[in-house]
A and B are shown apart, each in its own frame.
Chain A
Amino acid sequence: MREDKQLPDSHGYFEQFGGKFVPETLMPALGELEEAYQEAKRDSSFWVEFHSLSRDYTGRPTPLYFAERLTKYCGGAQIFIKREDLLHTGAHKINNALGQGLLARRMKKRRIIAETGAGQHGVATATICAKLGLDCIVYMGEEDVQRQALNVFRMKLLGAEVRPVSSGTRTLKDAINEAIRDWVTNVRNTYYLLGSVVGPHPYPVMVRDFQSIIGKEAREQILTQCGRLPDYIIACVGGGSNSIGIFHPFVNDKDVKFIGVEAAGKGIRTGKHAASLVAGTVGVLHGTKSYVLQDDAGQILGTRSISAGLDYPGVGPEHSYYKSTGRATYVAVDDKEALKAFQLLCQAEGIVPALEPAHAISYAVKIASSLDKEQIIVVNLSGHGDKDMDIIVKALGVKL
């Protein structure tokens, strides 16, 4: 897999996946963004600032933690957990928000727009904008505004304006549509801080680069702690940024197996899910060619998952590429299984995961017992569960 280092190609393609399918108005802006990013990438002072703020402001490195009781419970492979939940704002999203925030400032764009599903990317963006003194507008589907009310309040506290989106399915997909419409309209003074490895080139590669800090740390940590690389890396996949972030630095370690866990919602067979790679077909959504959930007429389908962060009918093009080459395997875990894993991790380890990585935990637990004790699984715990308390209270039928 050596050649993976060179992807995407100069047109933004990972083989047949990726590209720039956007209105003409955005083409010059994407060109400008790509140029600015390439320049920043070569500038060591950019990375010095990124790394020093990652250390002092967002709290990196995050621990790689041996989940001893969970491992015992499964009675098989050793489970290590990469603790992105311990980052400032409670999720991996801040890695990308910091990187792109610094880039926006460098490009002298003072108006930042973002989309958010669960609210984690919105909170991360609002946080970085507050820290860097930038204006921040966050688009959020009306349905998500309701189910993630606490994060909406948090963004407002941080000085951001939250604009509810009432079109289409009123979730993340529509928030992205609306953010793109804003960008088309205000392209001259606005930076679109996209939150995942989706969208037109150069977003998938740029977000991957900022999130790769997860995998780089995890690789060093596992070598220090165990003296060898893991057998499996497991991460949840919505748009796919936390998973690419932990996968990518291991891409040339071909004995390390990647498993991406999508949301099966109420079950793949019910059609109420968000598993683009497991159950989708190739299409174009939000500027990139990748796996999408669509009907026979090419209309994008609504999705359903207990976790707002996985509720997206597309996925990053690099994941589609990994699927096509077999570099990664993609599976799906449903709402009930995720909820069970959520409770298990709370009780076995005293860690409250977000519902998104609870999907990854669920699959890790599932395969750990079938593996022998020498084997190592690393799970990326991409975020903290505080934001999900309302949903969990409801799902468990608890009266507070």
Chain B
Amino acid sequence: MSRIASVFAQKKHTALIPYITVGYPSIETTLKIVPLLASSGCDIVELGVPFSDPLADGATIQRASYEALRQGVTPKVCLEVAQELRRQVEIPLVFMTYYNPVLKFGLEQFCSKCTEVGVDGLIIPDLPPEEGQELEQSTKKHGLDIIYLLSPASTEERISLVTSRSSGFIYLVSLTGVTGARAKLPQELEGFVARVRERTEKPLCVGFGVSTPEQARRIANVADGVIVGSRIIQLLDEDKSLKNVRFFTKSLREALL
């Protein structure tokens, strides 16, 4: 069983999955914040490998990616950071990035490196399963999970396709839109999760727009995990000491118990 699968197999609570951009605002911060997240009750951490043209991301993560790139954060640097983090934390680490940096690195080489340093899976929002076959050969070979996404706009046919091909968990995008904290999540959310649930036994995690413990609790009623990204980046901006991040994560954790 993969490290990601075992998180959900334990079923102790709804999984809490924060996202951070590697190297934002600095590599040191990343090395500090991930152990902090792990010790505040997070179950999996998504490490954003920055890309110059993040077309699925809203303003917050765009800016974080841009800043990280300016500081020379490359996929190679991200692998080194992941390797360092693996020495400190037990929880699964998942890279979230776009297809081009992975393609340029070399699909086989990238997957081999990921496994070597202790990365457990990949989330690539501009890679639908139709285009993922080549990468899947390498993820399978190296025992990496590849997590595909579904959206409220997905048809029944596409739900079947994505649920059959995704491994580790399935990433349910809560709304039609880009990443970014939202005051309200769409009404249709529960119905959407139920539609997917009918077709798969794989764990379902909901992300995009999640920014409060109340929203997280609502998601926990229907899903197996909650993904929070932009709000954490915003808190990082507000308070570099990471106190706010720790407080926020704990409040999410409590909401999900």
Interface, chain A (partner B; CB < 8 A): 11, 19-25, 27-29, 31, 167-168, 173-174, 177, 180-181, 184-188, 281, 283-287, 292, 294, 296-300
Contact = CB atoms under 8 A, between A and B. Distances in A.
Contacts of A284: 98-100, 103, 126
A283 B154 contact: no
Nearest to A12: B130
B69 interface: yes
23 contacts: A21-B127, A22-B126, A23-B149, A24-B128, A24-B158, A25-B173, A25-B177, A167-B66, A168-B52, A177-B53, A181-B56, A184-B177, A185-B176, A187-B153, A187-B176, A284-B126, A285-B100, A294-B100, A297-B105, A298-B75, A298-B103, A299-B51, A299-B52
B8 interface: no
A168 to B, nearest CB: 7
**How big is the B interface, by class?**
35 or more
A27 B128 contact: yes
Contacts of A298: 51, 75, 100-105
Contacts of B162: 24
Interface of B: 51-56, 58-59, 62, 66, 69, 74-76, 98-105, 125-128, 130-131, 148-155, 158, 162, 173, 176-178
Contacts of A29: 153
Nearest to A292: B100
Given A184-B178, A284-B100, A298-B75, A24 B149 contact: yes
Contact of A173 (B53, B153, B176, B178): B53
A298 B76 CA distance: 11
A300 B66 CA distance: 12
A282 B36 CA distance: 39
Contacts of B155: 28, 31
Contacts of A286: 53, 55
A20 B128 CA distance: 8
Contacts of A292: 100
Given A24-B153, A286-B55, A297-B74, 17 more contacts: A20-B128, A21-B127, A23-B126, A24-B154, A24-B173, A25-B176, A27-B128, A27-B158, A168-B52, A174-B53, A181-B56, A181-B58, A283-B103, A284-B103, A285-B100, A297-B76, A298-B100
The 5 closest A-B pairs by CB, nearest first: A298-B104, A298-B101, A297-B74, A25-B151, A185-B177
A174 to B, nearest CB: 8
A25 B58 CA distance: 15
Given A185-B177, A187-B153, A297-B75, A23 B125 contact: yes
Nearest to B161: A27
